[in-house]
Each structure stands twice: as structure tokens, then as C-alpha cells.
Chain A
Amino acid sequence: MRSYLLIVLLLLLFVLPFGLLGLLAVGEQWRFPAALPPAYSLEAWRSLLAADNDLLLGLGRSLLPAGTVAALATAGGFGLARAITRSRHPARWEAASYLPYALPPVLLAVLIQPFIIRLHLSGSVGGVLVGLLLVALPFATLLLRSFWSGHITEYEQLARTLGCTPRQAWRRVLLPLAWPLLRTTLVQTFLLSWFDFGLTNVLSVGKVRTLTVQVFTYVGEANAQLAAVAALLLVVPPAVLLLLNKSTLLRKP
């Protein structure tokens, strides 16, 4: 009995957000004290199909930086993790990697903003990319550090001894071995950028209207319906990633 109660309670806790956001996204003229919307409409969802729809553009503006950052941070982090392992002071490099990752994104954005302005990147996608990479790259490097153990170096040396070229050793031995961790890193760095609001908002001065920025704008305009649609759109990619692989969401550096 107690365990059923617990299951119902947790189910309610975790499913209610989607229920309420769904009602807000289709409800019209829904004001206090009505417990349910007086009318329903799919207009906000239908308008998504229009080519110049702001939400659809926001989805693209979120996907592009998140995808780019995930790819660059994972590829860069893989090489950097190897370079750190082979350096003279790996512990120092590891400690240094915590620096941008440890500061709150908004504080980091505030600190680097004068340089972003001097580089003429303020208010542009380029500036946002630099800011997001500053967080995602050390995160990926720390996550991928565990791969480059002595064991892996021995595998690599064995492959070379058996006649592999350096490129073949990478393609046929190292990358297949690293793939599960690389996949986790790709997912996590993607989500890191996808979920970001503060850093993007500060560095882009509100000009790069990603989905998170749009949610905030709609909330500010008291447009709960569009804010709910944008919020539900934000949940789609992580949900797909969760369905593909649960474990990729949990691992921490």
C-alpha cells in the first residue's frame, strides 16, 4: 500500500509539469479562477508550420549552437584529454579545467563580456559560441580524461606494433573503444548548451533569441500559451536523447 502511494506521488510530481504545460499550450483565455481552460485551440501549434514562425526560428537558433558546441567540445575534449594525460603536469591541467566549469555561467559571461565586446562578438552567435565552448570544452575534457588510462596507451602501442599506422590505430582501435564515452559527452555537452539561458542572454544582449530566451521573453510578456509551447519544444530533444540512452544523462566528470 505504502509503495503504491509513493509511486502515485512521484508519478504526479513528475508528470504534472507536462500536463499543466500541455493545458497552457492549448488553453485559450484561461484566467483565475477557472481550473480548466474555457476553450481549447491548436492555433499556437499550427502556426509552428509557418516558415517565418518565431518559435520555429528559435528552435533552429537553439539547435545550431548546441549541435556545434557539442561536436567541437567532444572532438576537442578527446584530443585535449589525451594531451593532458601525456603532459608533465596532468593534475595541474585537470585542476585548471575546473575553473570555467565551476563558475556560474552568468558570472563567467559577465567576466568575459568586456573581451567579447572588444572582439566585436557581442550580440552575435559567434560570441555565444565562444561563451558556451568555454564551459563545454573543459567539461568534455574532464569527462573524457578517464578514457586515456595506461591500458588504452598499451592497446594503441599493441596496434602499432602489429602494423597499424597511427591513423588506423585511431580509426580501428581508439575511436571504437571510446565511442560509448564519446556518445555520453556529445549528449551532455549538447544538453549543457541546449538548457543554457543566462550565459546566452548576457553575451548576446538578448539578440540571439534561442528557445530559452524566447520562453523568458514570453513569460515577461505574460503570454503563457506561447511560453508553454516554447517550453514543450525545449523538452523534445532531451526526451529523444533519453529514449535513446538513459545512462548518457547521468555521468558526471
Chain B
Amino acid sequence: MLSKARPSRLPSPLLSLYGLLVVGLPLAGLAYALLGSVGLAGPLAAGFTGRYWQALGTDTGLLYAALFSGWVAVASVGISIALALLLVLRAQPTLRRWPLPGLLYVPLLLPALVVGFYLFQLLSRTGWLARLCFQLGLIQGPEGFPELVQDAAGLGIIGAQVLLTFPFFTLLFRAIYQESRLEEYRQLTLTLGASPGQFRRRVAGPLLLRRAAPTLLLSFMATLGAYDIPLLLGRPYPQMLSVYLATRLQRFDLRELPAAYLAGFLVALGLLGLVAVLLRLRRQTAVR
């Protein structure tokens, strides 16, 4: 019989290389961004300075980008969850009917950039919906059509994110529903005198949300850092975080770099905080 391999004190060369790539490189990038934000790294580094950190109080760009991203992420993920729950809990038999089982996979084929382009062609003031409204005599010209893309509230971005996310959540909730044998629980709760609404609100809904929590948080983070869709469907102001960072770092004025490094450092730190929450959630759901 072979003896059980005992873990060695030092990581294997493979793991060391892996650590260097996946931890070393991003952390080195973070350190570079931090040093850049205090004037110690970067093309125009001229010695330690705290002025970029002090300027944070007056520069509202990063704060607005964070708030706008937060709003878009909360709205998109919230609407997607609501739609998916509605479909799984109220239209379960319909979801099993042709062609829905295959149809729900279709949005997973679409890159975010393509969805952004499609919605621009559909919802802009000269888009297909506006043309249909014009032909039907509902509007007199492009300006009569409501602003649905590149709007201040980010409606176009939210619509695109929902279109991409809610089918995935529906498939996920449906898989959890079957895996957790919720149909049997439904029969049981109805036998015990609960109404279908009580089953949905008190049993199925909380269970689905709790079990899907890590994936939902992951989707929230992905929406928070979305780039392709806001780049096409967003306005120059307010911008979402990724677009804001990329725009600031790609400006020709190198003096802007330290402030951009600072923004990148702070955003990365915030997202890493969310990862910590995600890992805790994952451990909790694993225990249950």
C-alpha cells in the first residue's frame, strides 16, 4: 500500500510560480499604484508628496464614478434577481416548455460588447424602436424619442446588464430549486396549511437567495467593474469605475497619472474587501 503523501513545508515550484503570477503580479501592480500616488513611481516621479491624497477631498470624479457604479450594479443585479425569482417561483411549468429550456442559454452566447452595440442600435434616438415609433406616428422626429442610452441615470447600461444577467440567474435558481427538492417542500408546506405565496416568500425565496449568494455577489462585483457596456452606452459624465480609470490612465497628460494610480489603488482595495465578504459567504454556505 502506498503511504499518504505528507504536505511539505515549502510550496512546490509549480505553486511558487503560480503565487508569483496570480498574487505577486497584481500586488506588485497595487504597490506600484500606491507608490505612484505618492510621487515615488511613474514616469514623472519627483519624490514623496501627499498632494494627490489631499486632493481626493476636492476631486469628486472618483466618488461620483463609485456611486454611479454602485447604483448601476444594485439596480441591474436587483432587477435580474427579481425577474429570475419571478420566473422560477411563478412560472416553473412554463420554463419547462419548449423552447424556453434552450432559449435561456442564448444570452450566455453574447459578449457584453455585442449586447452594448445591439442595444445602442435598438434604443438610441435614431435606433430601431425610434424608427418604428416614427413610422407609427408616435413621434415627429428623433428628439421626440426618450433618451434610453447614454442617459444620466444609466438606463441603457442597466438594461444591457439585466439582459445578460437575468437568464443566467434563472438557470441558476432553477438548478438550485431542483437540487434542493423545493417542489417536495412546496407540497409539504401546502399540506401543512401554508398558502403558495407564503411558501414563495418564507421558504423558497430565502433558500434560493442564500444558496446563490456567492454567485450573486460575484455578479454584483462583475457589474461594478463592467467596462464594455458602459463604454458604449454610458456618458462621459458620470462614468462607471472601469471606464473612469481607463480614461484617466490613457490621457496624454502624464501629470494626471498619479491621481489615476491613486484611483486604481482605492478601487482595487474596495473590491478586495468585497472578495473577503465573498469568501466568508462561501464558507458559510459550505457549512450549511
Classify the secondary structure of A's interface with B: helix
User: Is the pair A98, B118 in contact by a Cβ cutoff of 8 Å?
Assistant: no
Would A13 and B215 be within 8 Å (CB), given that A33-B135, A96-B23, A219-B117 are in contact? no
User: Is there an interface contact between B246 and A95, defined as CB atoms closer than 8 Å?
Assistant: no
* A-side interface residues, number (CB < 8 Å): 76
Interface of B is mostly: helix
Contact, CB under 8 Å: A249 / B113: no
Verify if B103 is at the interface (C-beta below 8 Å from A): yes
- Residue A56, interface by CB 8 Å: no
Structural contact, B134 and A32, CB atoms closer than 8 A: yes
For residue B281, CB closer than 8 A to chain A, the reply is no
Known: A98-B275, A98-B278, A238-B108. A111 touches B33 (CB 8 A): yes
Chain B 235-273, CB within 8 Å of chain A: the 1/0 string? 000000110011001100000000000001001100110
CB contacts (< 8 Å) of A110 on chain B: these are 29, 245-246, 249, 264
Q: Would you call B105 and A252 a contact (CB within 8 A)?
A: no
- Is A148 engaged at the interface, CB distance under 8 Å to the other chain? no
Q: Is the CB of B242 within 8 A of A97?
A: no
On whether the beta carbons of A231 and B12 are closer than 8 Å, the reply is: no
Does B82 reach chain A (CB closer than 8 Å)? no
Q: Does A107 contact B (CB under 8 A)?
A: yes
Q: How far is the CA of A212 from the CA of B134 in the complex (A)?
A: 32
A 233-253 binary contact with B (CB < 8 Å = 1; else 0)? 011001100100010011010
Partner of A32, one of B30, B33, B113, B126: B126
Determine the distance from Cα of A160 to Cα of B241 in the docked complex, in whole angstroms.
53
Judging by beta carbons under 8 Å apart, are B29 and A215 in contact?
A: no
Rounded to whole Å, the gap between the CB of B71 and the closest CB of chain A is: 17
Residues of A with C-beta under 8 A to B2: 157, 160-161
B227 within 8 A of A: yes
How far is the CB of A58 from the nearest CB of chain B, in Å?
Answer: 13
- Chain A, Cβ-Cβ closest to B16: A83
Contact A215 B117 (CB under 8 A): yes
| B21 beta carbon closer than 8 Å to chain A | yes
- Would you call B25 and A17 a contact (CB within 8 A)? no
A152 within 8 A of B: no
CB contact between A112 and one of B29, B131, B168, B224 (< 8 Å): that residue: B29
Among B111, B134, B168, B241, which residue has the most Cβ atoms of chain A within 10 A? B111
Asked if B193 lies at the interface with its beta carbon under 8 angstroms from chain A, I say: no
Chain B residues, CB < 8 A from A100: 22, 25-26
- Per-residue contact bits, chain A 20-36, to B (CB 8 Å; 1 contact, 0 not): 11001000000111110
Q: A197-B111, A235-B114 are in contact. Are A242 and B105 (CB under 8 A)?
A: yes
Chain A residues lying within 8 Å of B279, measured Cβ to Cβ, are 95, 98
Residues of B close to A104: CB separation below 8 A: 221-222, 224-227, 241-242, 271
Mark A74-85 against chain B: 1 for CB-CB distance below 8 A, else 0: 001001100110
Q: Which residues of B contact A137 (CB under 8 A)?
A: 18, 21-22
Asked if A103 is an interface residue, CB under 8 A from chain B, the answer is: yes
Distance (whole angstroms) from the CB of A239 to the closest CB of chain B: 5
How far is B122's CA from A224's CA once the two chains are assembled, in angstroms? 12
Minimum C-beta distance from B281 to chain A (A): 12
Check A216 against B113 for contact (C-beta < 8 Å): yes
Report chain A residues within 8 Å CB of B57: none
Within 8 Å of chain A (Cβ to Cβ): is B287? no
CB pair B91–A246 under 8 Å, yes or no, is no
Query: Which of A95, A97, A113, A231 counts the most chain B CB atoms within 10 A?
Result: A231
CA distance A162 to B35 in the complex (A): 58
Query: Per a CB cutoff under 8 Å, which of A32, A93, A219 touches B130?
Result: A32
B165-180 vs A, CB cutoff 8 Å, 1 = contact: the mask equals 0011001100100000
Given contacts A110-B264, A246-B102, A250-B175, 5 further A-B contacts (CB under 8 A): A14-B104, A31-B126, A80-B15, A110-B246, A238-B108
28 examples of A-B residue contacts, CB within 8 angstroms: A6-B91, A13-B163, A20-B121, A20-B122, A32-B130, A86-B7, A88-B8, A88-B9, A96-B22, A103-B271, A104-B226, A105-B227, A107-B241, A107-B245, A107-B264, A107-B267, A107-B271, A110-B246, A114-B29, A114-B41, A138-B22, A161-B1, A197-B112, A212-B228, A234-B114, A242-B109, A249-B105, A250-B172
Question: Which of B's residues lie within 8 Å of A, judged by CB?
Answer: 1-2, 5, 7-9, 11-12, 14-15, 18-19, 21-23, 25-30, 32-33, 41-42, 91, 93-94, 97, 99-100, 102-115, 117-118, 120-122, 126, 128, 130-132, 134-135, 142, 163, 167-168, 171-172, 175, 215, 218, 221-222, 224-228, 231-232, 241-242, 245-246, 249-250, 264, 267-268, 271-272, 274-275, 278-279
